[in-house]
Amino acid sequence: LAPRLKMAALGPTSNKDIERGPAPGPGRANWVKYNGLVWTVGFPKGKADGDDITEQTRLALACLDERLADAGTDKSRVLEATVFLTNIDDKEAMDAVWRAWLPEGGGASRATVSVQLAHGQLVEMKVLAAAVPVP
């Protein structure tokens, strides 16, 4: 039998070291900052019916820019990204917009997966970025 690990009781948890951005809805935050890292999600905010993958990607990246700035960082500090597409055949078109969005010399570890998203939404992006160090 595997030995059991004893976990020390943490007592009441304090989340003062976790900073959260504005809440777009119950149980969510625009971004979360902890231990020098920022997590956020970009979606095609303001999309119109009929917007194609290029336009929805542009809107999702603009949403990321806004949320990263609100968290005190920017796209040059993105470390990792997961891109969710409703149609994996849209990867090339999304990637062209993604590459144009990145600053010169920028890049992130990125995965792209095909999923079912909310009605009419073609793309969503989840990113992890380094926070700007506080002097």
pLDDT classification of 2: cutoffs 50, 70, 90? very low
Amino acid 131 reads A
Q: What is the pLDDT of residue 11?
A: 40
Q: Which candidate, 97, 91, 107, places its Cα nearest to that of 58?
A: 97
The CA distance from 71 to 2, in Å, is 43
Q: What is the pLDDT of residue 14?
A: 63
Q: Which candidate, 121, 122, 99, places its Cα nearest to that of 110?
A: 99
Q: Which two tokens stand for residue 1?
A: 């039998």
Q: What is the pLDDT of residue 25?
A: 85
Share of the chain above pLDDT 90, in %: 76
Q: How many CB atoms lie within 10 A of CB 97?
A: 18
Q: For 31-90, what is each residue's pLDDT tens digit?
A: 999 999 999 999 999 999 999 999 999 999 999 999 999 999 999 999 999 999 999 999
Query: Side-chain half-sphere of 90: how many Cα atoms within 13 Å?
Result: 23
Global pTM?
Answer: 0.86
Q: What angle is formed at CA 86 by the lines to CA 129 and CA 100, rounded to 5 degrees?
A: 45
Q: Is the pLDDT of residue 23 over 60?
A: yes
Query: Pairing between strand 78-85 and 109-114?
Result: parallel
**For residues 46 and 13, which has the higher predicted lDDT (pLDDT)?**
46
